[in-house]
């Protein structure tokens, strides 16, 4: 009899325990599903807007129509540390310019699609990231458009110093006077933009990348810069053939300074060459990194 009563008592305790467990399970189901993250932005790109600013561009989150989507947040980091205050970008915008940066410094930019405050169904997205460095924007030579003439020009064949710290800008100069320069030269194959150092064995070459971009502005966002292995050309030929757009050429000076050279299309002739022989010239704008060996972007 003792053993039987024990068995009944144990069974009763077990029943209570199961009942209690059933109550806990019911409470869990009432809490609802865990929040889900908004979709991240994609196709994040950048460009050097100035010596102290970088432009960013991205494709909107696919959660853009969600009621829980609030805005975008851009965080700037250097060596893992947050720089300044994260910027807020309206939910209808997919581009911004981040200012207050330091030339020659490579920053990591993180873009997040943020959920509305207090949302119980959504959380912010994962961060899309890109690394980029600001660089000088040079658009004028002594207050005038940057023009580089062919060597046979009656106004004097000229080269171009991309950056002269004494004047903080570009300077068109007589050929063979700078180790970081180019000038236009007439050849049977067309009009060539060359490094003046080709004509002085004591100077190093200015190297051009085989990678170019057809675009009307230096504000053209990219994901990565040309690979260093593509800077193999010492001559880039700019002929008078019809073109569809202005063109960016990437170069590296002899001291390791990288740059982007925008050669503007002549809208009248649809050519990159302006004027008539012997006074043909190129119209240019320059983005120049005065810090040696810092490219415009760096993949993580």
Cα(207)–Cα(215) distance, integer angstroms: 21
Residues 108, 234, single domain; the answer is: no
Report the pLDDT value the prediction gives residue 117, as an integer from 0 to 100: 94
Residue 8 resides in a domain: no
Residues 96, 200, single domain; the answer is: no
Averaged in consecutive runs of 10 residues, what is the pLDDT profile of the chain (300 residues)?
32 32 48 87 96 96 96 96 97 98 94 95 96 91 84 72 67 57 73 70 76 94 89 84 93 86 94 87 90 71
Residue 210 resides in a domain: yes
Do the bridges between strand 122-123 and strand 36-37 make them parallel or antiparallel, or are there none, so unpaired? parallel
Tokens, residue 176: 């063979």
Residues 76, 45, single domain; the answer is: yes
Tokens, residue 68: 């829980």
Residues 127, 148, single domain; the answer is: no
Task: Render 158-199 in DSSP notation, one character per residue.
Answer: EEEEEEETTTTEEEEEESSS-SS--EEEEETTEEEEE-GGGG
Residue 243 resides in a domain: yes
Residue 120 resides in a domain: yes
Report the pLDDT value the prediction gives residue 297, as an integer from 0 to 100: 65
Q: Which of 112, 139, 137 is nearest to 123 (CA)?
A: 112
Task: Tell me the whole-structure pTM to 2 decimals.
Answer: 0.81
Number of domains, the chain: 2
Report the pLDDT value the prediction gives residue 204, as an integer from 0 to 100: 63
Residues 109, 181, single domain; the answer is: no
Residues 216, 259, single domain; the answer is: yes
77 near 108, Cβ under 8 Å? yes
What b/e sequence results for 278-294 when a residue is b if at least 16 CB atoms lie within 10 Å of its CB, and e otherwise?
A: eebbbbbbbbbbbbeeb
Sign of CA dihedral 277, 141, 146, 190: positive
173 near 159, Cβ under 8 Å? yes
Residues 122, 220, single domain; the answer is: no
Residue 9 resides in a domain: no
Which domain, by its residues, includes 278? 137-288
Residues 250, 121, single domain; the answer is: no
272 near 247, Cβ under 8 Å? yes
Residues 201, 252, single domain; the answer is: yes
Q: CA 179, 180, 186, 192: dihedral to nearest 10 degrees?
A: 130
Residue 12 resides in a domain: no
Using the 8-state DSSP alphabet, how is residue 68 labeled? T
């Amino acid at each position: 009899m003792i053993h039987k009563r024990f068995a009944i008592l144990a069974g009763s305790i077990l029943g209570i325990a199961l009942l209690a467990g059933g109550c806990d399970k019911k409470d869990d189901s009432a809490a609802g599903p865990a929040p889900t993250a908004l979709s991240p932005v994609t196709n994040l790109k950048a460009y050097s807007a100035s010596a102290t600013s970088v432009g960013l561009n991205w494709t909107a989150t696919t959660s853009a129509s969600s009621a829980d989507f609030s805005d975008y947040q851009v965080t700037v980091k250097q060596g893992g540390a947050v720089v300044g205050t994260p910027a807020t970008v309206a939910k209808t915008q997919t581009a911004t310019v981040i200012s207050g940066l330091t030339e020659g410094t490579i920053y990591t930019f993180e873009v997040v699609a943020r959920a509305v405050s207090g949302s119980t169904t959504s959380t912010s997205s994962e961060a899309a990231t890109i690394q980029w460095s600001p660089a000088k924007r040079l658009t004028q030579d002594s207050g005038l458009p940057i023009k580089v003439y062919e060597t046979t020009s009656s106004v004097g064949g000229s080269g171009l110093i991309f950056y002269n710290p004494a004047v903080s800008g570009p300077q068109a100069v007589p050929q063979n006077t700078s180790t970081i320069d180019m000038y236009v030269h007439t050849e049977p194959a067309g009009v060539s933009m060359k490094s003046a150092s080709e004509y002085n064995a004591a100077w190093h070459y200015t190297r051009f990348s085989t990678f170019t971009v057809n675009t009307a502005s230096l504000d053209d966002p990219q994901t990565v810069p040309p690979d260093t292995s593509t800077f193999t050309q010492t001559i880039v030929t700019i002929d008078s053939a019809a073109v569809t757009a202005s063109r960016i050429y990437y170069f590296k000076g002899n001291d390791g300074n990288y740059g982007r050279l925008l050669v503007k299309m002549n809208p009248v002739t649809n050519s990159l060459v302006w004027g008539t022989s012997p006074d043909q010239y190129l119209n240019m704008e320059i983005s120049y990194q005065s810090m040696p060996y810092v490219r415009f972007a760096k993949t993580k």
